Structure 1
Amino acid sequence: MERNGREAWPPEMSEQMREVDRLRRSGRYASALALIRQLAEANPRQVRLLSELGQTLAVWGGEPAEALVWFDRVLELAPGHNTTRLHRALALARVGRHAEAVADFDALVAGGYRKALVIHMKRAESLEALGRVEEAERDWTLALAEDPANPWLLQQRAGARARLGRLEEAVRDLTDALATQHGEEVDPELLWERGRLRERLGDSGGARADFEAGLAAFREGDPPALLDALRAGLRAS
């Protein structure tokens, strides 16, 4: 029986899919790919198998361009298969086809797809790549509505707001991001970014304090270029 381009799922296929997932999660990518490709080619209208083949290529294999062939095939058979549309959007972004990725993200938002945080975050990244910074700032804000205390999201919105010339709002975002961190968890990159913004606002004392705090928070494993940038900021402040 077929419905909206989708064939009924054969119960005996579930055990084979569990094996594919076991192989993927245990790091046996080549074996997982061979099995899911065999299943998909033997069942060319079984959209779940085609989608899982695409996901195996994109997520576990780092092959988004090849994965797109299978995602497109799924959406030809079942245009409403939103999980595949999400993975297609992510793959499109990874190969630099950001306008198409945004169109897919837009369709998912319009359809009320449940993974709002991922959609807004990834659409924001594609919008920034397209130079559509105001729209990206909107999406960072929507993502923050889903995860308000996320310091990385606050940092991304601060960057967008700084590019829009909204420096005081950007400083507030970085301050909020830093408020979530304590002790060894303080990210010196956030302090460097806030120091630079304070310099642009004419707050030399605040900038100097941030660069000093960034140097004090610098940890083994942080990028050497960040250490150089903090020292340069301190000399210039």
Structure 2
Amino acid sequence: MTERNGREAWPPELTELLRKVDKLRRSGRHTEALSRMRQLTETYPRQVRVLLEMGLTLGIWGSAPAEALPWYERALELAPGHASAQLHRALSLARLGRHAEAVADFNALEAGSFRKALVLHMKRAESLEVLCRHAEAERDWTLALAEEPGNPWLLHQRASVRARLGRLEEAVRDITDSLAASAREGEPVDAELLRDRGVLRARLGDTAGARADFEAGLAALREGDPPGLADDLRNRLQELA
């Protein structure tokens, strides 16, 4: 089979074969999907998409990032800079705790004008936080918010890192905006967010505001909230007494 740009031409039959594998994965038949993928990698060892799909079958559908990593590496050897392979290698590295390597991959993706900017900024921010590179993480949460303005979860993440940087007033504003955004979306009040804002207000010396948040948090508790949250809120109220 002839090659184009260092890659083998795409065999038409592969499209349907991979579609069948994906159907197996989505129906929960992981063992059968993995068996078929192994056969495909033996038959088409230089098809980048096949190598990538093998990695996805192991890493995403099989929750085995360590086993998936070599397949992403093989794909990148055949197609250096392949965006999907590089993204999933970065995600696997992060899941394995190899955050510095993950950040390097995310940086390379950004330099190549990766189209999924929201995913890149979110995941790089998470790795940067683990590495205690909080100023860079704050930058990425801000960039993620530029992609999805007003996202309550993103606002909470930026608030957390801003608190670590000592930017308490900005962190309070982010949590306030997060609570408002959730309310606009019809979501119930998040007791954890109220607790976190109360903690920040207490650190700022706003005792009345902190007390109001802790009391509102207790009133907002619902089934499924983290164990111990109610006790934490009560203890914090007692500390303010």
Asked if Structure 1 and Structure 2 have the same fold, meaning a TM-score greater than 0.5 normalized by the shorter chain, the answer is yes
Question: Residue in 1 aligned with 2:197?
Answer: 194
Q: Which runs of 5+ in 1 are unaligned?
A: none
TM-score normalized with structure 1 length: 0.98
The one-letter amino acid of 2:149's match is P
- The amino acid across from 1:205 in the alignment is A
Offset of 1:166 from its aligned partner?
Answer: 0.3
Looking at structure 1, the residues matched to 151 and 236 of structure 2 have their Cα atoms a distance apart, in angstroms, of 26
**8 A Cα contact 1:184 1:217, kept in partner:** no
Q: Separation in 1 of the partners of 2:16 and 2:99? A: 37
Read off the aligned partner of 1:144 and give its amino acid letter.
L
Tell whether 2:72 aligns with 1:71: yes
Structure 2, unaligned runs of 5 or more: none
The one-character-per-residue Cα deviations of 1:169-218 (angstroms, maximum 9, x if unpaired) are 00000000000123762111100000000000000000000001111111
Residue 80 of structure 1 deviates from its aligned partner by 2.4
Aligned to 1:211: 214
Shift of 1:4: 3.2
C-alpha contact 1:4 1:78 (8 A) present in aligned 2: no
1:44 corresponds in structure 2 to 45
Distance 2:194 2:236 in 1: 11
Alignment match, 1:120:
121
2:226 corresponds to 1:232? no
Residue matched to 2:58: 57
State the secondary structure of the residue aligned to 1:144. Answer: helix
In 2, Cα distance between equivalents of 1:165 and 1:178 = 21
**Matched residues in 2 for 1:21 and 1:124: separation?**
30
Q: Give the distance between the partners of 1:224 and 1:43, measured in 2 at CA.
A: 50
Partner of 1:173 in structure 2? 174
* 1:19-58: CA deviation from partner (whole Å, max 9, x where unpaired): 0000011111111111111101221101100000001111
Between 184-193 and 71-80, report the one with greater CA deviation. Answer: 184-193
Runs of 4+ residues deviating >2 angstroms: 181-184
Secondary structure of 1:224 counterpart: coil
Give 1:3 shift.
2.5
In structure 2, how many angstroms separate the alpha carbons of the residues matched to 1:10 and 1:71? 21
Structure 1 residue aligned with 2:131: 130
Paired letter, 1:200: R
Residue 189 and residue 157 in structure 1: after superposition, are their counterparts in 2 closer, same or farther (change >3 A)? same
The residue identity in structure 1 corresponding to 2:126 is E
Is 2:1 aligned against 1:3?
no
Query: Following the alignment from structure 1 to structure 2, what is the Cα–Cα distance between the partners of residues 33 and 219?
Result: 41
TM-score by length of 2: 0.96
Measure the CA separation in 2 of the matches of 1:5 and 1:135. Answer: 37
Residues 96-122 of structure 1 deviation map (CA, whole Å, 9 limit, x = unaligned): 110110000001111111000000000
1:111 corresponds to which residue?
112
Q: Identity percentage over the alignment?
A: 70
Aligned-residue CA RMSD in angstroms?
1.0
